[in-house]
Structure 1
Amino acid sequence: MLPQTPHQPTSRAQEPLRRRVYVAVCLLAAAALLVIVLTDLGRGQVEPGTAAGLALCLGVAGLLQFSRLPWLLVDYTVLLGASGIVVTQLLHLLGTQEPIPLRTYFPGVFLVIAAFSVLPVRAALAYTAALLAIFAGLSVATGSDVVLLGELTLASLLIAHLSYFGRQVSAERARSEEQYRLSRTDVLTGLENRRGMYERIQQAFSRSLNSEGAEFTVMLADIDYFKRVNDTFGHDVGDQVLQRVASVLQREVGHQGSVARWGGEEFLILLETSDPPVVRAVAGQAWHAVRTGGVLGLPAVTTSLGVASSGEVVSVSDLLRIADRRLYQAKDAGRDRVQLGPALYARAPSDAAGKTRPVPTAPASTTPREQNL
């Protein structure tokens, strides 16, 4: 099936760059046309089509620079404007019965390129056929060089082939990229899934081996008593809890790392640092944010977290095993708490019972569970 349109959506991040590039191309084309106009002036004769092309390039550059016109409108403005210029030139030659000059064939090639850049494939083919028919009719009427017409036809066929092939390659690449993204994305939460996060951890571990100071931390978080939520309120509500926890964790981690759904009700946080104060702060913020950001109408949702740093281990499997072990230590100690490693206990405050608390940023607690964090 032929693609229906060559236009691809532009993300907000890409929009300013695309506009700058488009403006730069228009200005460069205008500069080239200005050189031609000045050269023609030196010879005592200016081609109206060249001057019109210069005005079109400058006009489009101005529209892009000072307005936010949709891309489709900009593209069609260029195609229609250039088509009008070339048709006017050809009609003038028909009226004077002059042969088509060599320099008029280049705008024809430009129109074919523009058509396949702007129009759907079938429309671009029809446009190209009509353009070639006009050139052919004018060549016969004025006795122009048919060799140049043949070269224009060959160039048009090559452009059509490359354009269609290029679109097929782009579409295939887009599909491959989308499949790759989906294979590493959890459908329910929109987070990275276990496969994607495992690859990310492996890359981080390789960097930590090859670069001093590149240590990182993983936090394995598990929603406490999640089975009760499903059994009591249903799986739809359970899905809402998973989505809410995912959103809260992603918000609290922010640019400091990444979050993935590790499986079931477990989430894995990758922090790009093993600095104890930072790790304790992020762990505390994530733990507290989940506690206070549950689903409306449900009891407070809590999590248990096990934390491990890359500096403690010699392999990724050891790192994940230690994080999992500490998660279960947190659960065995009563859940709703963070279990750190020895390196992260340094300078952590202790509660009245003497248990190390790794969350200096958490607010003062009024419940026994928070006191035991």
Structure 2
Amino acid sequence: MLPHTPHQPPSRAQEPLRRRVYVAVCLLAAGALLVVLLADLRRGQMETSVVAGLALCLGVAALLRFSRVPWLLVDYTVLLGASGIVVTQLLELLRLQQAIPVRSYFPGVFLVIAAFSVLPVRPALAYTVTLLAIFAGLSVVTGSDVVLLGQLALAALLIAHLSYFGRQVSAERARSDEQFRLSRTDVLTGLDNRRGMYERIQRAFTRSLDEDGGGNGGFTVLLADIDHFKRVNDTFGHDVGDQVLRRVAAVLQRQLGDQGSVARWGGEEFLILLHTSDPPVVRAVAGQVWHAVRTAAVAGLPPVTTSVGVATSDEGVSVGDVLRIADRRLYDAKGAGRDRVQLGPAGHSPAPAPLPPGPASRTEQAERV
């Protein structure tokens, strides 16, 4: 079944780029027509259709450059203007009973391309059939070359085929990309979900093996759990709980920057993938993340703390090993009183990073949730 998708304007993000490209194309077309016009003048002739096409291209370029007219108006202006120029030229040939010159078939191809670019498929097909009928009728009346007419028809069929299936492929690809994105995105926080992050960790582990697990090839996972989150839901309600999750997600993402990725691992757990296993860097980032959540006071929301378990790729022989180590250390941190970072085995891990001086004192005095 043929799609009925109407012509869609570009998004706001795409509009500046599309305007620049459209203006550039119009100016290039105007340049080509100017060359044709100058060549005609040297031969002592001038076709009004070339002059009209040059004026149309320059007019559309100026319209796009100096105004913000709707795209639908721009596209239809180009299609209708070009159609009027070609039909006027063909009618003049009919009046003079002259055969269609070779150079007049290219505008026909351009019109077919423009029709399938601007119109939905069904109207574009109707437009193309009408255009071919006009060329065919004029060819019969004026005795024009039927081979050129056949080539024009073949070109129109090819354009229609590519346009129809191209739209199908583009729509299917867009749907597939969106489904892929949604399958790996947590709806509440907008972060990667467990599946998306697990794939990232697998890729990181493969790279670490390729680089022998040394140098910059290693990675670290930090498994962070919001302390007493059930108490937040029970005391303040699930809406507030969702707001807390979104706040923690935003804090982690902002604090991490381009040093790694963060995902909602499940429930109130977040998993951070850090692109290094260098101990000083890991310790610094773990302390910064823990502290950032601890001090992220938001009016109307309860203060929260996190327990964090840390494991590096050097400590496991598989992704599962690394994740199990991080999970075990997270529970060690909870067992040691929560609100801390566990960087190594219980009893052997360095003390949790000290809280930097400054705004932390306000949070330290707040009620722990």
**Once the two structures are superposed, what CA deviation does each residue of 1:181-240 show, in whole Å capped at 9, x if it has no partner?**
111111222211111111111112222333442333221111111122223333333223
Q: Which residue in the other structure is 2:128 paired with?
A: 128
Write out aligned runs for 1:97-136 (5 A): 97-136=97-136
1:305 pairs, out of 308, 318, 323, with: 308
2:226 pairs, out of 208, 223, 228, with: 223
Q: Structure 2 counterpart of 1:4, which letter?
A: T
Is the CA contact (8 Å cut-off) linking 1:245 and 1:294 kept in structure 2? no
For the structure 1 residues 24 and 232, does the alpha-carbon distance in structure 2 shift closer, same or farther, using more than 3 Å as the test? same
Q: Which whole-Å CA distance do the structure 2 matches of 1:6 and 1:320 have between them? A: 49
Q: Is 2:153 the counterpart of 1:153? A: yes
For the structure 1 residues 203 and 16, does the alpha-carbon distance in structure 2 shift closer, same or farther, using more than 3 Å as the test? farther
Is the CA contact (8 Å cut-off) linking 1:244 and 1:294 kept in structure 2? no
- Tell me which moved more, 316-325 or 65-74: 65-74
Q: Which residue in the other structure is 1:357 paired with?
A: 353
2:268 pairs, out of 257, 265, 268, with: 265
**Once the two structures are superposed, what CA deviation does each residue of 1:277-329 show, in whole Å capped at 9, x if it has no partner?**
54444433432333343664443122111222334433322221222122112
TM-score by length of 2: 0.85
Q: Which residue in the other structure is 2:162 paired with?
A: 162
Runs of 4+, deviation exceeding 6 Å: 366-370
Write out aligned runs for 1:69-218 (5 A): 69-211=69-211, 212-218=215-221
CA displacement at 1:368 relative to structure 2: 6.5
Report the secondary structure of 2:5's partner residue: coil
Write out aligned runs for 1:5-44 (5 A): 5=6, 7=8, 9-10=10-11, 12=13, 14-44=14-44
CA displacement at 1:367 relative to structure 2: 7.0
For the structure 1 residues 230 and 186, does the alpha-carbon distance in structure 2 shift closer, same or farther, using more than 3 Å as the test? same
Report the secondary structure of 1:98's partner residue: coil
**Once the two structures are superposed, what CA deviation does each residue of 1:58-91 show, in whole Å capped at 9, x if it has no partner?**
4444444555555434333322232222122123
Q: Which residue in the other structure is 1:352 paired with?
A: none
- Tell me which moved more, 220-229 or 41-50: 41-50
**Once the two structures are superposed, what CA deviation does each residue of 1:230-275 show, in whole Å capped at 9, x if it has no partner?**
2333333322322222222222223332211111111111222344
Is the CA contact (8 Å cut-off) linking 2:184 and 2:196 kept in structure 1? yes
Q: Which residue in the other structure is 1:333 paired with?
A: 336
For the structure 1 residues 79 and 219, does the alpha-carbon distance in structure 2 shift closer, same or farther, using more than 3 Å as the test? same
For the structure 1 residues 174 and 6, does the alpha-carbon distance in structure 2 shift closer, same or farther, using more than 3 Å as the test? farther
For the structure 1 residues 308 and 169, does the alpha-carbon distance in structure 2 shift closer, same or farther, using more than 3 Å as the test? same
Is the CA contact (8 Å cut-off) linking 2:216 and 2:277 kept in structure 1? no
Q: Which whole-Å CA distance do the structure 2 matches of 1:27 and 1:66 have between them? A: 14
- Tell me which moved more, 93-102 or 285-294: 285-294
Report the secondary structure of 1:258's partner residue: strand
Q: Which whole-Å CA distance do the structure 2 matches of 1:339 and 1:173 have between them? A: 44
Q: Which whole-Å CA distance do the structure 1 matches of 2:209 and 2:89 have between them? A: 67
Q: Structure 2 counterpart of 1:335, which letter?
A: R
Report the secondary structure of 2:168's partner residue: helix
Q: Which residue in the other structure is 1:238 paired with?
A: 241
Q: Which whole-Å CA distance do the structure 2 matches of 1:39 and 1:141 have between them? A: 29
Report the secondary structure of 1:213's partner residue: helix
Ranges in structure 2 where 5+ consecutive residues have no aligned partner: none
Percent identity reads 77
Report the secondary structure of 1:201's partner residue: helix
CA displacement at 1:18 relative to structure 2: 4.1
Q: Structure 1 counterpart of 2:75, which letter?
A: D
Is the CA contact (8 Å cut-off) linking 2:295 and 2:363 kept in structure 1? no
Report the secondary structure of 1:191's partner residue: coil
Report the secondary structure of 1:75's partner residue: helix
CA displacement at 1:110 relative to structure 2: 0.7
Q: Which whole-Å CA distance do the structure 2 matches of 1:44 and 1:361 have between them? A: 86
Q: Structure 2 counterpart of 1:357, which letter?
A: A
Q: Which whole-Å CA distance do the structure 1 matches of 2:70 and 2:279 have between them? A: 49
Q: Structure 2 counterpart of 1:209, which letter?
A: L
For the structure 1 residues 161 and 206, does the alpha-carbon distance in structure 2 shift closer, same or farther, using more than 3 Å as the test? same
1:249 pairs, out of 252, 260, 268, with: 252
For the structure 1 residues 11 and 337, does the alpha-carbon distance in structure 2 shift closer, same or farther, using more than 3 Å as the test? farther
Is the CA contact (8 Å cut-off) linking 2:116 and 2:160 kept in structure 1? yes
For the structure 1 residues 128 and 282, does the alpha-carbon distance in structure 2 shift closer, same or farther, using more than 3 Å as the test? same
Q: Structure 2 counterpart of 1:304, which letter?
A: S
- Tell me which moved more, 151-160 or 222-231: 151-160
Is the CA contact (8 Å cut-off) linking 2:9 and 2:71 kept in structure 1? no
